[in-house]
Amino acid sequence: MEPSLLAAKTIDARMISDNNRQTTAGLAESVETRWIITEEDKQLSADCMSLLTEVLVGVDIRTETDNRTQYPRIEIWRETGGQYNDPVSVELRLSPHNFTTNGLYRYTLPTPLNISQLRGNGTKGYRLGVYQPPDDRSVVRFYKVTGTGQTGRVADINDNDVSKDPNDGEIVLQNSSILIHPITSMLLWLSCT
């Protein structure tokens, strides 16, 4: 990846806090993990089509080795009445060759991910997700965040869909948060009604 695709480190992730008093608390889980942002006000949907072009991420970047060759994925999941499905994703390819320190990075996706509000078919919107490979195989590791929950860790990982609990309409979650913030742009040539 070209260094120009990555913006310079903005601040040390260990010092980050926001209005919710979130701070980092070490690295995220060491096992294969998937997170989906489930808070209603964080839903990626609008009356128009938009693109996920960048993400701000708090990560630890390590050297690639013979065994450590996998990268996390940024995902967009379509939300329907009973599940999240039809994910599209892009690998989060950061390396120590691009940066010499760890912290909060602004990462420009090599291919923007389309987020379109589909009419009908039970689509309610779209959710940002992250897939994290196991610690011993992952080059990039996310920082954990304490404070009010930003994301939910999915208990059962499936590559194609995540089912919701029929009683409360939520996915089966475990309490865990990672440091990530999406940056989207509207497709201006479309009529937004």
Contact 132, 141 (CB under 8 A): yes
Contact 64, 16 (CB under 8 A): no
Q: What is the pLDDT of residue 9?
A: 33
Task: Give the residue with greater pLDDT, 17 vs 123.
Answer: 123
Boundaries of every domain in the chain: 3-186
pLDDT digit string, tens, across residues 135-180: 999 998 888 766 554 455 565 666 566 766 666 666 655 555 777 7
Among 185, 187, 186, smallest CA distance to 53 is for 185
pLDDT digit string, tens, across residues 74-133: 888 887 777 778 888 889 888 776 665 557 788 888 888 777 654 446 666 777 888 899
Torsion of CA 75, 3, 140, 28, to 10 degrees: -70
Contact 175, 153 (CB under 8 A): yes
Q: How far apart are CA 8 and CA 57, in angstroms?
A: 12
Q: What is the pLDDT of residue 51?
A: 79
